[in-house]
Amino acid sequence: MCLWGLSGQEVRAATPVGKAPAARPNIIIILSDDMGYSDIGCYGSEIETPHLDALAASGLRFTQFYNTARCCPTRASLLTGLNPHQAGVGHMMEDRGHEGYRGRLNRRCVTIAEALKPAGYRCYAVGKWHVTPGATAKALEDTSNWPLQRGFDRYYGTIHGAGSYWDPSSLVRDNKLITAFNDPEYQPEVFYYTDAISDHAVRFVREHATQNSGQPFFLYVAYTAAHWPMHAKESDIAKYRGRYDAGYAAVRQARWEKQKRLGVVDDRWSPAPLVGDWGKVKDRAFEARCMEVYAAMVDCMDQGIGRLMQAVRETGQWDNTLVFYLQDNGGCAENIGRGTNAPARAAQATFQPMDKNTPQYGSVPRQTRDGRPVRQGYGVMPGGPDTYIAYGRDWANVSNTPFREYKHWVHEGGIATPLIVHWPAGIPPSSRGRLEKQPGQLMDIMATCLDVAGTTYPAEYQGNAITPLEGVSLRPAFSGKSVKRSQPLCWEHEGNRAIREGKWKLVAKEKQPWELYDMERDRTELNDLAAKYPQRVKEMAAAWEAWAAKAQVLPLGAWRLKEAGAAGGEGALGQKRFELKSGDSLPRAQAPAIAGKPFRVVVQFEAAPADQGVLVAQGGSSLGYAVHMSEGQFHFVVRCRQKAVAEVGVPLSTAGQHLAVAVLSEKGTLSLKLDQQEERKVAGQGLIELTQDKCYRGWEVDKGAADTLTHIHGYSRTNHEQVCPT
């Protein structure tokens, strides 16, 4: 077996793989967010996606195409044709002090737009950008990596990665920060972000046809659907009411059977185990509603894609427009906003209303623009602007049918994506409607775009040496030929790592041993063959190590390093002391950077033994910590990873003012001291891996670190609080 590193001179070559048509094609890339392999109709779903299905019926469906398991790295790789670490985005939008983890596109890469401009393309981008920091006002002051500075001529969308669909944060038109309500160019009767993305994509296509008809165009459409929060229009939700009442197993089985009929899976495989047990669900109406809203979000996106394709047809550009549709990662098991019993809906506004010019910041808004608190918690029926809920792990398991794991992981459930390719002028009739089983990866999209445009990948751009292209053109597959790939496919995200060579895939979770799978017989990764083929494991592991060394992946674990190397990144990584007052809520980008760190929480508060509630919490139901009171006890609870929970408690026996100090040590030990009582310690199970939610204090909170926390409201009678990463 060969040890493959990065691409050699044959990929560096400046000649296109094939011959472009007489007229360069228009190119549209459509990217959806946090959706699983089975979530559109032509890959097995019951969700109605007739427009995507129609593209598949007269185009190609790739059944072994891959992303990189997470939003930012996927976007970086897709846009640049490089491994995400080579583009500077090995993780999220924080600078971790290593070149592969700078948290923004570097200047040693070019975007597809920058590469196509010399070939005469006019370039448009719509939707989620998320390859440069954008969660805070300070981060948004730096526009150097916004779309117009990375090759695009027009842009409408959000710089940050998540937010309300009814009132998105970091909304930008071209280079101007706006809100959904002060934009003079777009004021629909009801603003809904998915529709806004679709409407602007349509607008750019129609404007191009009238104003720039002599040029080909490149249009990048990056939907946020179906990323949390579960927000959708009631008219779309109504189409799915009752459709998920049968529960997880029934929906998943129906998808599996449909996938086999469609041929997008192999009936020799066995589906990965079902995760959710509908019989044990406490609130079936809530769980069904979550999936109804999710389906509505996907449905609405497909409607917009239909309008976009209609605009392409009506402007006479249909035959020579190449369309790609794919997804940024697998279904998302993050339990955002699902951690508590549901707080009641506010009867009236409890916050000061926001004027139309005030931007929202971060992922999770504290309030709606009219002053209502944004509600989270198990049982909050999602959909409206005053809710912020994820659909949860059990439905994500359904989305990823038939595969294992989710977004974040590099098992198939995290990285397998549909890829639909449609191009009437470039896909011969004999290939239309065909399933393409050759593996491919995000980096191949750049190479394919350059190939069909008849242009070259630059060795230098704006005075900077450019990292050689990593992808290979998929164009031969359009006519049933073999893609010329000379290296294996490799992945790394959050220490999860994988390499695929031919039918073999070597994969491992962070700090876990390698697993080996035969992708032809067992793509659902149920039969680990590592013990049977130790030499293959050794050779493939060495190949992965060689790739990681050259692709700027190392050091492993850099994504959780303690300090940020540059200002303006997301996350208060350099800040050592956080002072909170009652009602404070720090979004994840501004919250204490406690991942992989010891920390101390100091609380001054007034309470009696009968009081109960959460004083401070950071994280969600998967990872995080909480300091709370219940049943005459004061508690410190830490969940460092899934199912790894530790708790220490001390008696709260008197009413009055109290001082508490909670510490998670470097060795994972929990200690808690209340007033003059003797400090109590318990052995924990490590440091917290990564928090997915914000830091709350004194108002409605997620249930934080432990499933045992059931209190709905934060405890407000606290005088002073500090959170100090140490």
Q: For the segment 286-325, what is each residue's pLDDT rounded down to a tens digit?
A: 999 999 999 999 999 999 999 999 999 999 999 999 999 9
- Tell me the torsion sign for CA atoms 8, 10, 14, 18: negative
Residues 535 and 662 in one domain: no
Q: Are 24 and 155 in a shared domain?
A: yes
Cα–Cα distance for residue pair 298/224, rounded to 1 Å? 10
The reply to whether 425 falls in a domain is yes
pLDDT digits (tens, 9 = 90+) for 391-415: 999 999 999 999 999 999 999 999 9
Residues 305 and 183 occupy one common structural domain: yes
Q: Are residues 609 and 539 in the same domain?
A: no
Whether the per-residue pLDDT at 563 is higher than 60: the answer is: no
| Parent domain of 539 | 493-559
Residue 472 has pLDDT above 50, yes or no: yes
Quickly list H helices, 155-283.
193-211, 234-237, 248-262
Is residue 263 assigned to a domain? Answer: yes
| φ, ψ dihedrals at 32, nearest 5° | -105, 170
**Beta carbons within 8 Å of 94's beta carbon, 6+ residues apart:** 101, 103, 133, 564, 569, 570, 571, 573
In a domain, residue 626? The reply is: yes
In a domain, 81, yes or no: yes
What is the token pair recorded at 484?
Answer: 């010329």
Q: What is the pLDDT of residue 703?
A: 36
Measured from the Cβ of residue 612, the count of other Cβ atoms closer than 10 Å reads 17
The CATH number that applies at residue 546 is 3.30.1120.10
In a domain, 568, yes or no: no
Q: Are 585 and 573 in contact (CB under 8 A)?
A: no
Whether 554 and 589 map to the same domain: the answer is no
pLDDT band at 641 (very low <50, low <70, confident <90, very high): low
Q: Is the pLDDT of residue 383 over 90?
A: yes
Is 501 inside a domain boundary?
A: yes
- Confidence at 716, pLDDT banded by 50, 70, 90: very low
Q: At what angle do helices 50-57 and 284-314 cross, to 10 degrees?
A: 50
Q: Let me know whether 291 and 192 are in one domain.
A: yes
Q: Would you give the DSSP letter of residue 353?
A: P
- Measured CA to CA, the distance from residue 242 to residue 340 in angstroms comes to 25
Looking at residue 482, the DSSP 8-state letter turns out to be P
Residue type, 702: D
Q: What are phi and psi for residue 560, nearest 5 degrees?
A: -110, 20
* Residue 22 DSSP one-character state: S
Strand duo 176-177 + 171-173: pairing: antiparallel
374: in domain = yes
Average pLDDT over every residue of 217-244: 98
Residue 65 tokens, joined: 């195409």
Q: What is the CA radius of gyration of the chain?
A: 25
List beta partners, residue 613. Answer: 629
Contact, 361 vs 161, CB < 8 A? no
- Residues 6 or more apart from 222 whose CB is under 8 A from it? 31, 33, 75, 125, 126, 127, 128, 129, 157, 197
> Rounded to whole angstroms, how far apart are CA atoms 552 and 106?
13
Residue 133's pLDDT is: 93
In this predicted structure, what is the pLDDT of residue 581?
Answer: 61
Looking at 529, 559, 589, which one is the last position of a domain? 559
Give the whole-angstrom CA distance, residue 439 versus residue 434.
15
Question: What angle is formed at CA 704 by the lines to CA 700 and CA 709, rounded to 5 degrees?
Answer: 85
CATH code of the domain in which 708 resides: 2.60.120.200
**Whether the Cβ atoms of residue 41 and residue 50 lie closer than 8 Å to each other:** yes
Give me the helix-helix angle, 284-314 and 193-211, nearest 10°.
10
Over residues 139-178, the pLDDT tens digits come to: 999 999 999 999 999 999 999 999 999 999 999 999 999 9
551 vs 603, higher pLDDT: 551
Q: Are residues 225 and 286 in the same domain?
A: yes
215 and 129 in a common domain:
yes
Could you give the number of structural domains in the chain?
3
Question: In terms of DSSP H, where are the helices of 118-277?
Answer: 193-211, 234-237, 248-262
Say yes or no: 467 and 519 in one domain. Answer: no
Domain end (from 483, 509, 528): 483
- Tell me what pLDDT residue 710 has: 31
Residue 631: which pLDDT band, with cuts at 50, 70 and 90?
confident
pLDDT in tens, 694-709: 565 543 333 333 333 3
Distance CA 510, CA 163 (A): 29
pLDDT reported for residue 643:
60
In a domain, 333, yes or no: yes
Domain identity same for 555 and 617: no
Is 570's pLDDT higher than 70? Answer: no
Least confident of 1-5, 117-121, 387-391, 483-487: 1-5
- Check which CATH number belongs to the domain holding 234 and give it: 3.40.720.10
- Per-residue pLDDT tens over the stretch 67-118: 999 999 999 999 999 999 999 999 999 888 899 999 999 999 999 999 999 9
Regarding whether 381 and 433 lie in a shared domain, the answer is: yes
Final residue in a domain of this structure, among 483, 509, 535: 483
What's the mean pLDDT when you consider all of the chain?
88
- Tell how many helices (H) and how many strands (E) occur in the chain: 13, 29
Q: Are residues 336 and 245 in the same domain?
A: yes
